[in-house]
Structure formats: C-alpha cells, structure tokens
Amino acid sequence: MLIVIENLLSADEVAQINRQLEQANWVDGAQSAGSRSIAVKQNLQVDRDCAVGAQLSNLILRRLGETPQFVSASLAEKIWPPVFNRYAHGGHYGTHVDSALMRDNARGLTLRSDLSATVFLTDPESYEGGELLIENEFGAQGVKLAAGDMVLYPSSSLHQVTPVTAGERTCAILWLQSAVADAAERAMLYDLDQSIQALSVARAADDPDIDRLIHVYHNLVRRWAQV
C-alpha cells in the first residue's frame, strides 16, 4: 500500500529546513549504501554526526507524531531518524530494495524495515527528473510530490530515484518498524481506522455503532501486533 500524506510540513517549516541544510555537512551518499546498492547510488547526504541534520531530523519526527494519518497508516513501533539527501547533475539511485534489518550500534537501535518514507523538500517544478519509482503488483508507480508532502510505502518494494537532469532534489528519507508486521493486516487496520474517523464526524460522541467499530479495531490490533 502506497500512502501520500499531504502537508506533513508547512511551507515555513520547509523553508526553515532548506535554509539550515545549507549549513549542514554533506558527504557522498555511497558511504551508506550496501554492497550492491553502492554501484547504483549517486547522491549527497548529510553526515550522520552533523548537528544540523540531527536537529532537523527531530523536527520531522515531532511532526510525524502529531500527524494522525501517519500514526494510523504506520502503527510505528520504531523509527530510523530521517536522513537528508540531495540529487543534482544527473544524480540518481538505481533500482534497489531497502535492507530488511537496520542496525545502528552507536545509538543502540535495531529495527526491521517494514515501511519506507520520503519527505519531499523541494518544489517539483524546480527540478527535472528525480521521480521516485516504486514497483508493486500493478507495475511501477511514479511519485513526485509537493514540498512538505510525504509518501509512505513498503520497504520490501523495489524502487529507484530517476536521474535529476536539471535543478536539485532534496528530501528526507526514513524507515520504520510497525507494530503490525503483515502489510495486508496493516492495510485493513488503516482502512478501518480511516472509516471510523470519517463516520465519527456526523455521529454523537457516545454512538454505539462507532463504539463497536472501535472495539473491533483494537481487538484486531491486539491480535496482530508484535510488541
């Protein structure tokens, strides 16, 4: 399931992040690539020990926690802190799959990558190319969103970033482990939760039908969650 979350970041927050990223320490993105991915990865990313990057990463993490759609779609148990990357002058990231297990011994973090996310930080009109292509059972789907929007998709998907032939594409990327590992179960819970929220708008706070749906939702989470 591919989910777009619009306006995760406001225009002011996007502008603030981009200003501060100009002061960040950018390094060759190949440093963090796996043994096979290194051959197809050509971009820059903010050094993992950069204080500016850590500050901006925390800003995005706060916004994620304040965004009900993200919470509903991900049921996040662990989140790998956002990494900032930049593509320009033909920069690209060829077809690859994200690592199933991610470990950061320095921070004591290990997670199973269930979902990947890209937060777009540059307007799509300001660069050419740079489309995120995500393969699923229906074929490849291209994603190129407005600045401040985020796409959430299965980490198990083959995906790529096409070459940026003009301008610059800056994004934040992150990975997370969900409390519900099975993608089909997670999708059903998301659909059920979104329906409950939509129906609740026109119903009384003590509506018994809504209460029964909430009862079903939480019992399904209880059945499927791995925590």
Give the residue numbers of the binding site for Fe cation. 96, 98, 159
Alpha helices in the chain (DSSP H): 11-21, 51-65, 68-74, 183-200, 208-224
* Sequential DSSP letters for 140-169: EEEE-PPTT-EEEEETTS-EEE--EEESEE
Q: What residues contact residue 107 under an 8 Å CB cut-off, 6+ apart?
A: none
Residue numbers in the known binding site for 2-oxoglutarate are 169
Binding site: residue ranges?
96, 98, 159, 169
Residue 179 contacts residue 218 (beta carbons within 8 Å): no
> Cα 154 to chain center, whole Å?
10
CA distance 64 to 69: 9
Contact between 174 and 117 under an 8 Å Cβ cutoff? The reply is: yes
**Sign of torsion over alpha carbons 25, 28, 34, 37:** positive
Cα separation, 8 vs 182, in Å, equals 25
Q: Do 17 and 9 contact (CB within 8 A), yes or no? A: yes
